[in-house]
Amino acid sequence: MSDSTIESTSEDDFRIEPPVINTPPVEDWTSDYDIFDADYITDPVPIWNDLRGQCPMAKTERWGGSWLPTRHEDLQALAKIVPELSSTDPLVVSARDDDRPEDDRAPEGLAAPPITADPPLHGWTRRMILPTFSPKAVATYRPYTEELCHQLIDGFIAEGRCDAAQQYAQQIPPRVIAHLLGIDPDKADDFTTWVRGVLEFGLYDNNIRVKYRDIIRDFLFAEVTDRVENPRDDKLTEYLALDIPEGVDRVRVVVGIANLLLIAGIDTTWSSIGSALFHFGSHPDDRRRLAADDSLFPTAIEEMLRYYSPVTMARVALEDVEYNGVTIKEGDKVLMNFPGANHDPEVFENPEQIQIDRERNRHIAFGSGIHRCAGSNLARLEMDVALRVWFERIPDFELADPNGITWAGGQVRGPRVLPMKFEAGQPR
């Protein structure tokens, strides 16, 4: 990386404004839940706890209809019902109009395999990317990530305040992924806008979703096509050289995998980093304890992942599925509520207590079954580096405006505005 300081990103750089949704209030969460309800977005934990004690799976007709399991045992079991519960469209619950335009689905091979694929496509595309995220490979990304985090902090530490979401958490995964793929890291801000356009604001407006999906597709096609003609020492070139089944469009597959790394590897991880900073900025005892004992970072990170799990994937039933007294009909959507499962008292002792030294922590924040997140090692490394560098440089911090925090809703949850204050320091 360059030795120059990365300039802080201002709110003016985020030009997509969150929409206002006016929907009837929820009267019965067991039969009419709403993942876009303000209470659900702000703090879904009490809702999950109530549902867990009332029904095996909640059902709603809102936003095209879906099922919502909350028990750890059920999520583990449902994740194994493959391919009857298909993964080909894992982001299917949105506050858009029920009539999705014909071009709202990317052409086959341009989605994000293996996460958007059932067997056999799932198997060989997953094998293509696993070496990228092995512990040994991920360890090589640490120096770049450490230098990146220091440069980000250099950009705002003298001010004594920052937006820890927009100026820090959201800046790390896009640059790491760009570095990994061999793409100009200066595209990071564009990546942020594009991904939010698809995963966040596109949930409310079809035009936004299609616009940014097409921007990502066209950009990645140009990058991959360039690697065909001008190979480089990067992952795009490496993927193009791998063995794939005969008759498969190699460029299309690599574009799809690059799309996966952008869509699945950016928003999810910055949400986890932001949620962790939110926690330590609002829980001074935990902050002081972690600042005084860096041996707690591994268990603290796992506890942040458990408590603030950001991702709720989805499945679509290809046929009627009978499960635990419930009939999931063909075409029904099932929200894979891994975050809710991570609060199940049958698995976690005192799940509503955040214990940064929790030893027994069988969370499924990265999913379960064949679609368990292939990039979990990278996500953990980014969280570890982001938090360690922050605590090294800014060990004493707190929320600047608890009422000014905003959270993204839908199937990826995390803070999007996170005002933080601390004693002003000096860039390195």
- Furthest CA-CA distance within the chain: 61
- Predicted confidence band of residue 18 (pLDDT cuts 50, 70, 90): low
Give the integer Cα–Cα distance in Å for 369 and 374: 11
**pLDDT, tens digit, 9 for 90 and up, residues 139-152:** 999 999 999 999 99
Q: Are 40 and 409 in contact, with CB atoms under 8 Å apart?
A: yes
**Sign of torsion, CA 293 299 302 306?**
negative
Mean pLDDT of 205-223: 90
| 102 Ramachandran zone, left/alpha/beta (phi>0; psi -120 to 50) | alpha
**Please, which pLDDT band fits residue 3 given cuts at 50, 70 and 90?**
very low
Contact by Cβ (8 Å): 133, 376: yes
Q: What percent of the chain has pLDDT over 90?
A: 77
What tens digit of pLDDT does each residue of 92-119 get?
Answer: 787 764 444 444 444 333 478 899 899 9
d(CA 242, CA 254): 10
Q: Which amino acid is at 95?
A: A
pLDDT digits (tens, 9 = 90+) for 374-423: 999 999 999 999 999 999 999 999 999 999 999 998 899 999 999 999 99
- Distances 274 to 81, 99, 285 between C-alpha atoms, Å: 32, 34, 18
* pTM of this structure: 0.92
Phi, psi of 124 (to 5 degrees): -75, -25
Q: How confident is the model at residue 8 (pLDDT cuts 50, 70, 90)?
A: very low
Which pLDDT tens digit goes with each residue over 270-326? 999 999 999 999 999 999 999 999 999 999 999 999 999 999 999 999 999 999 999
What is the band of 31 on the pLDDT scale with cuts at 50, 70, 90?
A: very high
**In contact, 293 and 376? CB cutoff 8 Å:** no
Averaged pLDDT, 332-350: 97
- In degrees and rounded to multiples of 5, residue 398 shows phi and psi of -155, 165
Name the residue among 131, 180, 173, 122 with its Cα closest to residue 152: 173
CA–CA separation, 370 vs 387, rounded Å?
29
Paired strand residues for 317? 85
pLDDT of 198 > 90? The answer is no
With a pLDDT cut of 70, the percent of the chain lying above it is 91
Give the chain's mean pLDDT: 90
Interstrand relation of 333-336 and 414-417 (parallel, antiparallel or unpaired): unpaired
Report d(CA 379, CA 260) in Å as an integer.
14
Dihedral over alpha carbons 197, 153, 407, 203 (to 10 degrees) = 10
Pair 85, 102: CB distance under 8 Å: no
Q: If you search the block for the tokens 């992942």, which residue do you land on?
A: 305
The Cα-based distances of 363 to 58, 78, 135, 303 in angstroms read 21, 16, 19, 9
Per-residue pLDDT at 203 exceeds 60:
yes
State the Cα–Cα distance between residues 13 and 10, nearest whole angstrom: 6
The angle formed by the CA atoms of residues 251, 257 and 260, to the nearest 5 degrees, is 145
pLDDT of 372 over the 90 cut: yes
pLDDT tens for each residue of 46-75 = 999 999 999 879 999 998 899 999 999 999
φ, ψ of residue 355 in degrees (nearest 5): -120, 105
Q: What is the pLDDT of residue 98?
A: 46
- Report whether pLDDT(186) > 70: yes
Bridge partners, residue 419, by sequence: 163
Q: Is the pLDDT of residue 13 over 60?
A: no
State how far the alpha carbon of 190 is from the alpha carbons of 154, 167, 262, in Å: 21, 14, 11
